[in-house]
Structure 1
Amino acid sequence: MPRKQAVKETPRANRIERLGFRIDEETKDLIERAAHLTRRKVSDYCVTALADTARRTIAEHETLVLSDRDRATFFDALINPPEPSERLIRAFDEHRRRVAP
């Protein structure tokens, strides 16, 4: 009895969602050329490029870059926190009053 060959699952096999949009001819030619140069299908090239750009965009928005002075001030506040102001103490008291433990 012949053995069945294992089917290698590819990322493409898991694709179930669609994303459609229109582009101008110049942009399409540019994308097709880039896909050809990387020896990939246009759709695979586009999915990879969009996902990479999305990851970079998210990382840029989730990353905080501090100057040396800001970093020093931040760590100093962590190591030597200031005494709470009267306003902060009142806010904590109000929070304890409103929120059940």
Structure 2
Amino acid sequence: MDSVVIATGRWLYDGTAPMTVRIVRLDYDFWYAVGEANGDLDPDESPRLNADGYLFYVRHRPGWSDESEHFWPDSQGFATLEEAIAAAESAVPTAVTWRRHDQG
């Protein structure tokens, strides 16, 4: 399963402490996979990937990169990068400055 950091944002906590937020692209529906592993899916449930076979998730918590520990999102999955960015921005009190990464 593929996870890629698509965008990294920086915002200021309390006006002084820089904080990071990431948008991660997965080639699977994270929350569907959790439900499947736990046996909690409805019989008619299916993954809700976008037309390209991806979902975008917000990650606010520090300590994760696409090379280290297992990814755990801080959001639902979004069909577009723009929707994920909007969700990330609505969850923090100050403006976010974004750097987009090569989407490979």
The structure whose residues are more often strand, as a share, is 2
Instruction: Report which of the two structures shows the higher radius of gyration computed on alpha carbons.
Output: 1
Instruction: Give the TM-score category using the shorter length.
Output: under 0.3
Question: TM-score by structure 2 length?
Answer: 0.17
TM-score (norm 1): 0.17
Bigger relative contact order (CA 8 A; separation at least 6): 2
